[in-house]
Structure 1
Amino acid sequence: MDYQKEILNTEEIERALTRIAHEILEKNKGLQDLALIGIRTRGAPLAKRVAEKIAEIEGAEVPVGILDITLYRDDLTTIAQQPVVHKTEISFDVTGKKIVLVDDVLYTGRTVRAALDALVDLGRPQVIQLAVLIDRGHRELPIKADYVGKNVPTAKEELIDVKLVETDGEDMVFLQKKDKQ
């Protein structure tokens, strides 16, 4: 990598997630029929953290699930010869629920499209909303987040590297520039 620049530190990530939790509650007028579903890998711990913040604010828990989108990806043949499929862990019926999909970075929109396909295969939610920690632009599909921790305009040759304690041992978000080869 040519350079690495810190975008969010631990405290800034927590602040962004707290704001997202408040915005979710405000837009949905409370917890009625609300559920969070994290897109595996880093969306899952982010969904759990937002749910914890909602519980602190409201004094009640919101259901949280984990969605694996591996088989719904449109780039499945390019990511691996034998892609690793993980388990979707949703212990509640999504039908009639206000579902907030949670992911770490919104880029082209293709991950979210795959998540929407996977989710509607499980039932018919009342509404599906999207919360992301980072929106970096460059959409290829008409998808927009309802809740954004931070907008980070990027060039196509740049990468957003999200590190979370649950998956990487630390909380940090970096902007990196790819080496030109």
Structure 2
Amino acid sequence: MPNTRTIHDAARFGLTIERLCRHLMEEHGDFQQSCLIGIQTGGVQLAQRLYDRLRELGVTGLPFGKLDITFYRDDFRTKAGPLTAHPTEIDFLVEDRRVILVDDVLFSGRTVLSAMTALNHYGRPAGVELLVMVDRRFRRTLPVQANYRGLVVDTLTNEYVDVQWAETHGSDQILLTGS
């Protein structure tokens, strides 16, 4: 049976969300030329949490969207069957905006590449920044870096990082599973 341990508990999770929001506020000021887009599915949960906290901190008028990348992936058909698509909900153009692209875990970089390709259908952004809850450095296969990181984790090839949310798992935590 694989070994599982908590590497980020609920208290630290909340502090990390707060730190990421404060960093975004420093970098984006009034957010007038910015938008926040979560990558389905884990990135949407993180983006929603960030969006809600930014609103509590007084940020208004920040466009928020959800981006599905299923058919932009190079592995949308697997041995287990096709991946399940989720709705894309972007009711604004990203043209000339600073896009904050959000995902839960940065691993190989392939998800981010797919998201950037899908994003082109909504306009040409002024810039794209990447925010992730967990950066699994040393496992990248594409030259992708996060602008904002909640946690940096060095993992072995056979280890798995699982970001869990109170809404779906009962508590906010990050688990590391491996041998």
TM-score (norm 1): 0.92
The alignment status of 1:19 with 2:19, answered yes or no, reads yes
User: Does structure 2 conserve the Cα–Cα contact (< 8 Å) formed by 1:45 and 1:166?
Assistant: no
What RMSD, in angstroms, separates the aligned Cα atoms of the two structures? 1.5
What is the CA–CA distance in structure 2 between the aligned matches of 1:95 and 1:170, rounded to whole Å?
Answer: 37
The one-letter code sitting in structure 2 at the alignment partner of 1:171 is D
After superposition, the C-alpha distances for 1:43-65 in whole angstroms (9 at most, x for unaligned) are: 11210111122222234242211
Find out whether 1:68 has 2:61 as its counterpart.
no
Q: Do the aligned residues in 2 keep the contact of 1:42 with 1:167 (CA within 8 Å)?
A: no
Matched residue, 2:145: 144
- Identity, % of aligned pairs? 39
Q: How far apart, in 2, do the equivalents of 1:70 and 1:163 lie?
A: 21
Deviation digits for residues 121-156 of structure 1 (CA, Å, limit 9, x no counterpart): 221111110000000121000000000000011111
Q: What stretches of structure 1 move > 4 A for 4+ residues in a row?
A: none
SS across alignment from 1:121? helix
Question: Paired residue for 2:110?
Answer: 110
Whole-angstrom CA distance in 2 between matches of 1:19 and 1:173: 17
- 8 Å contact kept, 2:37–2:67: yes
Unmatched 5+ residue regions in structure 2? Answer: none
- 8 Å Cα contact 1:99/1:125 also seen in 2: yes
Is the CA contact (8 Å cut-off) linking 1:52 and 1:61 kept in structure 2? no
Aligned residues of 2:31 and 2:59 also touching (Cα < 8 A): no
Residue matched to 1:125: 125
What's the offset of the Cα at 1:89? 0.6
TM-score, scaled relative to structure 2: 0.93
Partner of 1:58: 58
Aligned-partner SS, 2:82: coil
2:79 and 2:18 map into 1 onto residues whose CA distance is: 33
Give the stretch that moved more between structures: 127-136 or 75-84: 75-84
Gaps of 5+ in 1: none
Residues 7 and 175 of structure 1 are in contact (CA less than 8 Å); yes or no, is this contact kept in structure 2? yes
Displacement, 1:168? 2.8
Residue 157 of structure 1: aligned partner: 158
| Match in the other structure for 2:30 | 30
Residue type at the aligned position of 1:159:
Y
- Paired residue total: 178
- More divergent stretch after superposition (62-71 vs 167-176): 167-176
What is the distance in 2 between the residues matched to 1:8 and 1:79?
Answer: 32
2:76–2:82 Cα contact (<8 Å) kept: no
By how many angstroms is 1:100 displaced? Answer: 0.4
State the shift of 1:177 in Å: 0.1
Q: Is the 8 A contact 2:96 2:126 kept in 1?
A: yes
